[in-house]
Amino acid sequence: MRRLISFRDFDWVLLTFVLIICSLGVLEIYSTTYGTKFAGAHMRQVYWIMAGLAVMLTVSLINYQILLENAHWFYIASLVALLAVTFFGKKYLGARRWIQLPGGQHFQPSEWVKLVLILMLAKYFSGEGDREASLSDVVKAGLIAGVPMLLVLKQPDLGTALTYVPVALMGLFLGGIQLRHAAVILVIAGVLMPTVWHYGLKPYQKDRLTSFLHPEADSQKTGYQLEQSKIAVGSGGIWGKGVRKGTQTQGSFLPEPHTDFIFAAWSEEHGFVGAVALLLLYFMVLMRLIHNAQTAPDSAGGFVVMGVVAVLLFHILVNAGMVVGFMPVTGIPLPLMSYGGSSVLFMFLALGIVMNIRMRRFVN
């Protein structure tokens, strides 16, 4: 007897952890923007979360196999959108990353490309069976991820471009990349790195990638963000200073406290205990996702879920590492916490596909 999909099979535990993180994010956005020109951003974040929930529920009902079958069309549409940004995108702070929509809203195509890459690589490698990935497979996977990556680097948006790397690496790993091919990739990357450094990066990008090593050397310019972030994290102590009581945040010393540096603001107001608790919530989300990947009805479904894991883990590690000085400042937001519609909608769309895969494991 055929069993239909049902919301009883929804991963309600995963959704609960996700909504807790979102709620903490709204609280922190309220705290960091109170009395500033960004006041009210927490309510806009609530609207984005509600829209994200609607998207997640809708996508969870669409057979993910249909998405995989049409992944190549999504990929082509993504490339067209990235090209449109290059020629018609809105320029802000020297970067052209958004397409302006009616009503004053902005659409950032590069954020959605991550999910398209996950679908493309899942479709490609799941169709190769259980055999090891050949050199041809490695090259094709590199091209699939490399073309949009180059278009995003041209905007320029180094942070978002780097988020495509873990998707490609996860695809190659699950696709059965051979050790000798992995070694060749590392050698080629090492050889090309000086060329990319000298000719592929702009001066401010180089400053961002090097200032985290010695931020005190230029604490008023290239090292300012990192210095203030480390001060904020350290001043939180064990228990934190409380909501709207962070001196670095409320004194406007900490830059972008509701977006890129929200983890630093959270750590200042809620201390070491709050920071560890937040990271544990993310850990639980990742564990639930990995469990869903292990119980996926087919290899393609497992590929998709692990691709989401790769993106989420990369964002968390880079953002948390950035605010404490272990990683360079790259402008990568903290998922589900940082303010921003594109980031929120992307995560809920990805979670909708994960839920779809989970629910269909019970369908005969």
pLDDT tens-digit map of 328-358: 887 789 999 999 888 899 999 999 999 999 9
| Percent residues over pLDDT 90 in the chain | 43
- Mean of pLDDT values over 100-120: 80
List beta partners, residue 133.
177
Question: For the whole prediction, is pTM greater than 0.85?
Answer: yes
Contacts of 67 (CB under 8 A, 6+ apart): 74, 119, 353
Reported as a pLDDT band with limits 50, 70 and 90, residue 104 is: low
Q: What is the pLDDT of residues 74-84, one digit of tens each?
A: 999 999 988 88
Quick one: 207 exposed, middle or buried, by C-beta within 10 A (0-12, 13-18, 19+)? Answer: middle
Q: What is the pLDDT of residue 94?
A: 60
For the chain, which residues make up each domain, given as ranges? Answer: 7-214+299-362
What pLDDT does 283 receive? 97
Mean per-residue pLDDT, 241-262: 87
* φ and ψ of 334, to 5 deg: -90, 115
Q: Report pLDDT digits (tens) over 305-331.
A: 999 999 999 999 999 998 888 888 877
DSSP string, 245-300: --HHHHTT-SSSTTTTTHHHHHHHHHHHHHHHHHHHHHHHHHHHHHHHHHT-SSHH
Rounded average pLDDT over 44-64: 93
**Does 107 have pLDDT greater than 90?**
no
Nearest residue to 10 (alpha-carbon basis) of 363, 296, 356, 297: 356
Single-letter residue type at 29: I
Residue 10: what pLDDT? Answer: 85
Which range has the worst mean pLDDT, 9-18, 22-31, 89-98, 234-243? 89-98
Report the amino acid identity of residue 113: V
Query: Phi-psi category of 325—alpha, beta or left, where left has phi over 0 and alpha has psi -120 to 50?
Result: left
Beta bridge pairs of residue 99 = 107
Tell me the pLDDT band of 1, cut-offs 50, 70 and 90. Answer: very low
Residue 212 has pLDDT above 80, yes or no: no
Q: Who wins on pLDDT, 160 or 311?
A: 311
Concatenate the DSSP letters of all residues of 50-82 into one string: HHHHHHHHHHTTS-HHHHHHTHHHHHHHHHHHH
What mean pLDDT do residues 98-109 have?
69
pLDDT score at 49: 96
Res 3 pLDDT > 60: no
342's CB contacts (< 8 A; 6+ apart) are: 107, 108, 111, 112
Predicted local confidence at residue 362, as pLDDT: 66
**Residue 181: per-residue pLDDT:** 78
Give the pLDDT score at 217.
Answer: 62
| 99 burial level (CB within 10 Å; 0-12, 13-18, 19+) | middle
**Confidence band for 255, pLDDT divided at 50, 70 and 90:** confident
Q: What mean pLDDT do residues 256-268 have? A: 92
Q: What is the pLDDT of residue 102?
A: 64
The CA–CA distances, whole Å, from 304 to 144, 157, 238 equal 15, 25, 38
pLDDT > 50? residue 2: no
Instruction: Please name the amino acid found at residue 169.
Output: L
The structure tokens listed for 110 are 């590069």
Q: Tell me the average pLDDT across 13-38.
A: 93
- Chain centre distance of CA 342: 10
The pLDDT of residue 38 is 86
CB 345 within 8 A of CB 22: no
pLDDT in tens, 286-311: 999 999 999 998 889 999 999 999 99
